[in-house]
Amino acid sequence: MSCIFCKIIRGEIPSSCVYEDDKVYAFKDINPQAKVHVLVVPREHIASADAITAENSGAVAAVFEAIPKIARALELEDGYRVITNIGENGCQTVKHIHFHILGGEKLPENMGN
């Protein structure tokens, strides 16, 4: 599998890990868009949120169970934003579902641009 996030999960590409468990891996975004910018991914390869099914939704649930733990570890008690981009119009560049955690500062109110 040539997927870059699968390679990161397997340790074939270096990353700055902030959290991991048997279903979830989280690491710092290489091009941060906020003071804190972390990507949370399921170890299972799912192309995007548009490919979530009854069969693979457990992996996504595990991501959302991990997010509050990650937020606590990153001291985001004042709040944060979770974003997932989907497809061409959503500007998704990596075709392995991932959830951006953005925080560490007051974020822009406008989420569209």
Q: Does position 94 bind ligand AMP by CB under 6 A?
A: yes
d(CA 92, CA 12): 22
CB closer to Zn ion, 27 vs 80: 27
> Do 83 and 90 touch, CB atoms closer than 8 A?
no
Residue from 10, 11, 13, 81 in contact with ligand AMP (CB under 6 A): 13
Establish how many alpha carbons lie within 13 A of residue 19's alpha carbon, considering only the half-sphere containing its beta carbon.
22
d(CA 36, CA 34): 5
Residue from 2, 31, 53, 110 in contact with ligand AMP (CB under 6 A): 31
Which positions lie near ligand AMP, rule CB under 6 A?
4, 13, 15, 27, 29-31, 39, 85, 91-94
